[in-house]
Every structure is written in C-alpha cells, then in structure tokens.
Amino acid sequence: MIKTVTTMLLLLILILPLAAQEDDDVVTDDEVNAVARQLYCPVCENIPLDACGTAACEDWRYEIRLQLEAGMTEEQIIDDFVTRFGDRVVGTPKDPLLRVISVVTPWVMIALGVFWGWRMFQRRMTTNAVEDVQQVSSDEHSHYQDLLEQDIAGG
Amino acid sequence: MLAEIGLFALAFAFASSLYAIGASVFGEWRHSEKIVLTGRNAALLTFMLLLLAIIALQIAILSEDYQIAYVWSVSSPQMPTFFRWTALWGSQAGSLLFWSFLMAAFSATALILNWKSHRRLMPYATAYMMAVVAFFVGITLFYENPFERWWIVDGNEVVRTALIPANAVAPDANRLAETAKGLNPLLRHFGMAIHPPMLYLGFVGFIIPFAFAMSALASGDLSTNWIKASRRWALVAWLFLSLGLILGGRWAYDVLGWGGYWGWDPVENAAFLPWLIGTAYLHSVMIQEKRGMLKTWNMFLVIGTFSAVIFATFATRSGLVDSVHSFARSEIGFPMFFFWFTLTVISVGLILWRRNQGRLRDDHHFKGWLSREMLFVINNVVFLALFVVIFWGSFGAPIVSELFLDTDITIGTDYFMRVTPPLFAVLFVLMGIAPLSAWGTTSLSRMGQALLIPMTLTGVTVAFLYSTGMNTPVALLGYAIVSLAGWVAIVETLRAMMARVRTHGENPIQALFSLIRRNPRRYGGYLTHLGVTIIGIGIIGSTLFQVETQQTLAQGESLYISGYEMRFDNLRARQISSDGRIMDIADVTVLKDGREIATLHPRRDFFPEGDGMNSMTIAGAHSTIENDFYVLLVDWETIDQQSVTFKVYINPLINLVWWGGLVLILGTLFSIYPKETVSVRVRQKLIKQSGNTLALEGASS
C-alpha cells in the first residue's frame, strides 16, 4: 500500500510540472496573430493573413500555431512561408534583388528628379542673372551710350 | 422598353459627344460662331441623353426588370429599396454609365457657367471634355453595356445581348427573379451609398481644370484665364475626392473588419494618387496667380492629376491590381490603357510645344529660400515624392517584378509605413512655416519672429503630453510636427481677428466671419490645414498606440484590455434578415471601472445567394473622443454555441480622423465661397448713393 502511494506521489511530482509546462506552452491567438500580421494571404491579393476570413487562411493560421508550439521563432515561420509560397506572402520581399527593386528604386527616382530639378533651377537662375544684367532701362542705356561715345571721342 | 430607351439614349449620347468634338474644333478653326454653338449644344444634349439612360437603368432596377442582365446581377427580390438605388453603381457596367453621366453633368455645368466669361477657351475645352466623355460612353456602349438582356435562342441556349437576336424569346420572369444574384455583400452598407458617388465626383471633377488647361495650350491663351476659369472647379473636385477618401476609410473601418481604415491596398492608393498631385496643384497654382511663375509646372500638375485619375480608373476597373497581367485579359483593360497613354502623351506634347515656343516663360524668378513660392515648390516636390513612392509600391514594383523577373510580390503596409512617414512629416513642417512667409522674399529673423508664438504653443503641447505619461519619442516628435501646423493656422487667424476687433470695433465672432467673407481662400485654407492637423493627430494616435487581443470566451466570461472589461453575454446564431442574409450576432457588455458603459452587437453576415466574397464582418464599436472600443466576432463553436472568439481593438484618437475630415471639408467649402471684393457696408453706401443720384436725375428731368 505504502509502495503504491509512494509510486503515485512520485508520478504526480513528475507529471504536475509537465502539465504546468504544457499550460505554459499554449500558444495564444495574439501570438499567432502577431506572426500572421507580418504575412499576406498566399491566395488572395493584398490581404494580411491575420485579417483574411477564408477557410484556407484559417488553416494557415492554425499551421502557424502548430509551428509556434513546435518552438519555431517568428523569423523561421516567415522564412518557411516564403520558401513555400514565394515573396508574395511578405509585405516587403525577402529576396535581396527584389528588395532593392522595391525599396531603393523609388528613392533613386526621387533623387534623380530632385537633381534634375536642381540643375534646371540653377540654369534658370543663371539665365535670370544674365537677363537682369541685360535689362537696363532706356534712360540708363542712353547714359551708358553717351559715356561710351565720350570715351571714344576722347580716345 | 426601358432597355431600348437606355440603349438608344446611350448610342445617341455617343454620337452627339463625337459631334460636339468635331463641331467645336472645326468651328474654332473656321472662326464660325454658329458651328461652335452647335458643338456646345451637342455637349449639352449628351448630358441630357445620359441622364435619360441613367433614369432608364434606375427605373429598371427599382421595377425589378431582371431580363436586363445588369439588373439581374446587382439586385434580387429580397433586396431593400435603399440598396436598389445604390445598385446603380454596384457593378462595372452601371458604374461606368454613372461615371460618364457625372462627367457629362460637370461638363454641361461648366459650359453654362463659363461660356460667356471665358469664351475664348470654351471651344477647345468643350472638345476635350467631350473627348473624355465620348471615350467612357464608348466603352460603356461597346464593352460593358448595362442594357444587355437575357435571351433564349434556338430553344435552349441563353445569351445576353444588347440587340434582340433572331428567333429569340425572353426567359421566364419568375425564373430570372429566383436566380437574381443581388448586390455584392460588401456594398450593402450605408457608406457605399455615399462613398462611390463622392469619389466619382472627385475623379470626374478634375476634367474641368484639365480641359481648360488643354484649351489654353491649344488656343494659345496662356494668360491666367484658364486658372481663373478652373480654380473653383479644381477645389470642388478636390473636396469631393477628399470626402470620397474619408468615407472610403470609414466604410473599410465599419465593414472590412480588420480594425483599421487605411490598409495601403492598391485600390485605395489608386484613389489617393490623384489627390496628392491635385493638392500639389492647388498650392502651386497660387504662385502663378500671384507671381506669374511656374507656368509649365502647373500645366504638368493639372495634366498629371487627370492622368492619375484615368490611371486609377484603369487600374481598379481592369483588374490590374488583382493580377498585373489581367488587364490584357480584361475587355476594357486595353482600350483604357490606350486612352490613358494617348491622353498623357498628347497633353505632354502640347506643353512641350508651347514651352519651346517660349509661351510658358515665367514673369518672375525665385529670390529667397524662405519666400512663400520657394516653400510651395518644396511642398510640391514632397507631394510628388509621395506620389512616386506610393505609385511604385502599389503598381511599379509588382509590375516590374512580374514582367521582368516572373515573380509575384506584395508590397504591403510595412513598406508604406517605412517610406511615407518622413515625407508626411516634411509636409506638416512646410504646412507650419509656409503660411508665415511672404511672396518674393522673407528674412530668417522675420520668419523666426512669426514662428515664436506657434513654436511656444507647440512646446507647451508636447510638455503637456509628456506630463500625461506619453514618453514615446517618435509619438512626441510626430505630435510636435503636426501640432505646429495647427497652431500656426490658429494663431494667424486669431492675430487677424484681433486686428479687426481693434480697427473695426467688431466682436470676435463678427470679426472671424468678416475675415472669412473678405478672404475666404486664406481663412478657408487655414481651416483646411487645421482639419489636416486633427487628422494627423488621429492617425498618429491610432497607428502608434493601437492595442488588440483575440480571445475565446464562454458565455458569461470576460476579457480585459486597456482598462476595459468585455463580457460575453449571448450568441444569437443563424438569424435570418428580411433581405435574406443570415446573421450570427453576439451580445457583449463593455465595462470600465466595474460600470457598464455599452452593450455591443458585433456580427457576421452571410449572403447565401452572393457570389465570391459572400460574408461580411460588422464590428461593434463604442466611440469616445479618447478612443474606440472596437470588437469583431471572429468565430464561434458550431456545436454548443457557447464559446465565441472575439477580436478586440482599442483605437486611440481614431475619431479625430473623421472629425478632422469634417473640418477639412468645411475649410474647403469656405475656400470655394466667392470672395467679397467690396464690403457690405461700402456696397450699401454705393447703392444708396446711386439711388440718390437716380432720384436727383429723375427730379431734374
């Protein structure tokens, strides 16, 4: 009897922490959504996985839950989805070339546009400066002409 | 009968719009007033015929004429009358007809109002307006005809055609009614009754500034006449576009069930792109009016705005945003792309032609970095930079990736949240300092003096926010930048008000109204800036401090979030509504500090007869100025109906987005209001004097 009770107590001592451990490992909906929010539905266009209402997306969210329960990190899960479904499942491509095309290109375009605009502006300022010099009133023009003529006559 | 009326009206509208183009151009070329007038009358007739077509289609929907294929596809016998009205624009064919009608209505109004005052510009303006109308009527008539009917030919084959095939009989009316599809579930919402017409009005409204600009280029009248003729039209279009965007955000918040109002979806972005260039144009055009500068640039902006409108229409209607190749498969994709491309190339070509002739040379040049015109130019550059990054993320990168690298990519919120905030921040800074600068030149010390009070108030605002516990540096910086723009608008208005109180002895309210009456553009503009500031505060709050949780609750259980408690009381599953939808409704109670503050009913609607997306998640929300308690019914246990999964969001300051929108609309309305050039007092005095003079003249004679 004592042996049986002792065995049961020992089992309890072993099982209880395990059960508690299992409780700690329960993945919450919020943890699943935190990962799903970073992914896009592989079949619908432009719908984040955490907000997509299709049955397929429910299955993928369940898959994320299983992956989290299996101990995978957010990054590993996202990489796994990208490997299986391609770069369309993330908001910015993971592939280095696609990433450069997506993120860097618009800034290059803006920089080129600003540079071109700046050159145009500078050129116009120079032209305007020349025009300012050339724009002499008729009175001033006659005065300068008189001075020149006097100079020539004097010479 | 209705189908025949609609079809003939549409066909004649197409013919009359083509005649209007020909007569206007030929009449102007031959200097024949008579021919030009026939062109104008044909344009007015186009509007009347499209009105007739719209009335025919609307009556067909209301009277449940399901033999008309469009009516069959967007309505059903169970549908409430209210949605029968909105079904007019519920699908491609009807919305294209509605688009064409609104554009013809805008054109007809502009012809009537501007004919005498801007006579020289009108023939070419008529031709351009009618060219765009003719294109849209053409694709409605030949590609997406809303007056096609169902016919049975050869005994059993069902076809839909606009003209009656040989030996055809009409299908059984009862069978058609039984199989009618009904309106797309996502469109069965009050917001959808207002959002599309507002957006369409915003889109089509830009045809008027575009047509006047093109007319100025074609006719050679490159003075500020085209700007005077079109300024108010541009503001009206901008007003409707802003309203359409705000209502679209509200609809997404209420119906799409993801807790937000702007998802950076390509369809949303497509509508936002014309708004960005249009806003740049509204600022830049002031420089041309005041200083005779940026003539070429303004032409590019007004044409760019309308080109963006046509591109947005092409992108959303051709299926381009669903799949980058679908426009090749879509029937209207190619003609729309061709039209957009041709329109843009011709417009740019005309600008370059006039520029090379030296006809677009500026009257003045830039003098100082702090001059108002220079700050407006920087503002324009930032608006265009926003256009570039949003266009690239929405269309450019996905198209390039699919066409050249054979890879589908999604450019999502994280891209847009990375690239747009710095540019919006610069815009807010410019919104704060540009109104304080002067035309021509402004010194740094003068600018500093003008900024002293608004900067102090901004500092006080930030210190107050910090004292309330907000210590996120990004948020504090954001609030500082945004509130500076708002304080400048308030301080400048107050300063002018107090000056008027001192000089005219008016009370502050009278002084404010006098200011708005005397200079509606400036004070309307300040109010619009204030509206944008309020929206900015709302966006920062709801973006940076949104909190969410998803939990499954048994009946009577509660969840806790941000000081709120939400108790799940009951689930009413499979409720059948009068319009045939099946609703699952949860009853929840929201408590704060143990006190019940609201009872909410989040629900999921299922439309058994609908195709494709046939369910809708309607949130339950408790709104205060501080935040929204926003709850969605995510799922429920089918067996016992006892445990339900909820997703709850706390959206801080989100209501400021809607309130700010209202202020922005009010400010724009003030800006559109005609300027009072002579005060009421002076006018009365003049009337009195002229009356005395007349009386004296009468007495002497």
Nearest to A102 among B259, B415, B615 (CB): B415
Asked if B257 lies within 8 A of A88 by C-beta distance, the reply is no
Residue ranges per structural domain of chain A: 95-155
Mean residue pLDDT of chain B comes to 89
CB contact under 8 Å between B552 and A29, yes or no, is yes
Estimate to the nearest angstrom the gap between the alpha carbon of A45 and the chain centroid: 18
Candidates B560, B531, B534, B489; CA nearest to B625 is: B534
Distance from CA of A5 to the nearest CA of B (A): 37
User: Do B645 and A114 make contact, defined as CB atoms within 8 angstroms?
Assistant: no
What pLDDT sits at residue B373? 87
Query: ipTM of this model?
Result: 0.79
Integer Cα distance of A114 and A111 in angstroms = 5
Inter-chain contact A110–B388, Cβ cutoff 8 Å? yes
**Cβ-Cβ contacts under 8 Å, B552 against chain A:** 29
Res B195: pLDDT: 85
Burial of B408 (0-12, 13-18, 19+ CB in 10 A): middle
Q: How far apart are CA B278 and CA B296, in angstroms?
A: 15
Q: Rounded to a whole number, what is the largest CA-CA distance in chain A?
A: 141
B388 compared with B609, residue with greater pLDDT? B388
Interface of chain B toward chain A, CB-CB under 8 angstroms? 256-259, 263, 265-266, 321-323, 365-366, 381, 384-385, 388-389, 392-393, 396-397, 400-401, 405, 407-415, 418-419, 548-552, 615, 617, 645, 647
pLDDT reported for residue B700: 46
Please give the DSSP secondary-structure letter assigned to residue B169: B
* Separation of alpha carbons B596 and B146, rounded Å: 51
Q: Do A93 and B549 touch (CB under 8 A)?
A: no
Look at residue B690 in the predicted model and tell me its pLDDT.
Answer: 63
pLDDT in tens, B603-634: 988 887 666 557 788 899 999 989 999 999 98
Strand B558-561 with B564-576, pairing = antiparallel
From the CB of residue B649, how many other CB atoms can be counted at a distance below 10 Å? 24
Cross-chain CB nearest to A106 (options B388, B548, B551): B388
What local confidence, expressed as pLDDT, does residue B637 receive? Answer: 67
Contact state of B392 with A105 under an 8 Å Cβ cutoff: yes
Query: Once rounded to an integer, what is the mean pLDDT over residues B683-701?
Result: 58
A contacts of B385 (beta carbons < 8 Å):
110, 113
Asked if the Cβ–Cβ distance from A121 to B384 is below 8 Å, we say: no
Name the token pair of B442.
């402004």
Q: Locate the chain B residue with the closest alpha carbon to A106.
A: B389
DSSP assignment of B464-480 equals: HHHHTT---HHHHHHHH
Task: Work out the pLDDT band at B291, boundaries 50, 70, 90.
Answer: confident
Task: Kindly report, residue by residue over B585-602, the tens digit of the pLDDT.
Answer: 999 999 999 899 999 999
| Three-class secondary structure of residue B639 per DSSP | coil
The answer to whether the CB atoms of B414 and A91 lie below 8 A apart is yes
Q: What are phi and psi of B499, to 5 degrees?
A: -60, -40
Position A131 scores a pLDDT of: 57
Helix ranges restricted to H, A26-137 = 29-36, 55-69, 74-85, 96-99, 105-134
Give the pLDDT of residue A9.
Answer: 52
State mean pLDDT over A130-146.
61
**Amino acid sitting at position B626:** E
Query: Which residue in B49, B147, B146 sits closest to B101, CA to CA?
Result: B49
Q: Among the residues of B505-612, which ranges form H helices?
A: 508-518, 520-544
- Average pLDDT for residues B13-31, to the nearest whole number? 95
Examine the pLDDT at B242 and tell me if it is beyond 80: yes
Residue type, B601: H
Res B322 pLDDT > 80: no
Tell me the mean pLDDT in the region A51-77: 91
CB contact under 8 Å between A48 and B258, yes or no, is yes
Of the pLDDT bands very low, low, confident and very high (cuts 50, 70, 90), residue B652 is: very high
Q: Domain ranges for chain B, please list them.
A: 1-188, 443-544+657-678, 547-652
pLDDT, residue A140, reads 63
Cα–Cα distance measured from residue A41 to residue A51, given in angstroms and rounded to the nearest whole number: 9
> What span, in angstroms and rounded, lies between the C-alpha atoms of A45 and B266?
10
In chain A, the residue whose alpha carbon lies closest to the alpha carbon of B616 is A53
CA B512 centroid distance within chain? 29
Instruction: Report the pLDDT averaged over residues B257-271.
Output: 88
CB contact under 8 A, B413 and A86: no
The yes-or-no verdict on residue B116 having pLDDT over 80 is yes
Residue A76's pLDDT band (boundaries 50, 70, 90)? very high
Kindly determine whether residue B549 and residue A30, on different chains, have CB atoms separated by under 8 Å.
yes
At residue B580 the predicted structure's pLDDT band, cuts being 50, 70 and 90, is confident
State residue B206's pLDDT score: 94
Interatomic CA distance for residues B119 and B28, integer angstroms? 11
In terms of pLDDT, which residue wins out, B72 or A18?
B72
* Mean of pLDDT values over B238-258: 90
In this prediction, residue B324 carries a pLDDT of: 47
Displacement of CA A141 from its chain's centroid (Å): 62
Residue whose C-alpha is closest to residue B13's, from B91, B92, B98, B101? B101
- Within 13 Å and on the Cβ side, how many CA atoms surround A62? 6
DSSP letter, residue B66:
T
Q: Name chain A contacts of B645, Cβ cutoff 8 Å.
A: 29
Q: What's the gap in Å between the CA of B396 and the closest CA on chain A?
A: 8
Report the C-alpha gap between B95 and B103 in whole angstroms: 12
Tokens of B438: 């002067």
Arithmetic mean of pLDDT, B632-646: 78
B259 beta partners: none
**Average pLDDT of the segment spanning B365-376:** 82
Query: How far is residue B432 CA from its own chain's centroid?
Result: 25
CB pair distance less than 8 Å for A46 and B393? no
Closest residue on chain A to B646 (Cα): A29
Helix (H) or strand (E) holding A141: helix A138-154
Q: Per-residue pLDDT for A148 more than 80?
A: no
Confidence of residue A16 (pLDDT cuts 50, 70, 90): very low
Rounded to a whole number of angstroms, the distance from the CA of B79 to the nearest CA of chain A is 24
**Which of B409, B418, B551 is nearest residue A98 as measured by Cβ atoms?**
B409
Confidence of residue B330 (pLDDT cuts 50, 70, 90): low
pLDDT band at B638 (very low <50, low <70, confident <90, very high): low
Residue A30: its chain B contacts at CB < 8 A?
Answer: 548-550
Q: Tell me which residue of B464, B461, B469, B508 sits closest to B485, measured CA to CA.
A: B461
Minimum mean pLDDT range among B225-234, B242-251, B313-322, B660-669: B313-322
| Whether residue A8 has pLDDT greater than 80 | no
Q: B184-198, B228-242, B444-458, B668-682: which has the minimum mean pLDDT?
A: B668-682
Name residue B96's amino acid: L
Q: Is A45 close to B322, i.e. CB distance below 8 A? A: yes
Per residue in B180-237, pLDDT tens? 878 887 777 777 778 888 999 999 999 999 999 999 999 988 888 888 888 899 999 9
Name the residue facing B407 among A29, A98, A110 (closest C-beta).
A98
Distance CA B309, CA B271 (A): 8
B628, amino acid identity:
D
Partner-chain residue, chosen from B410, B413, B551, that has the shortest CB–CB distance to A29: B551
Question: What percentage of chain B reaches a pLDDT higher than 90?
Answer: 58
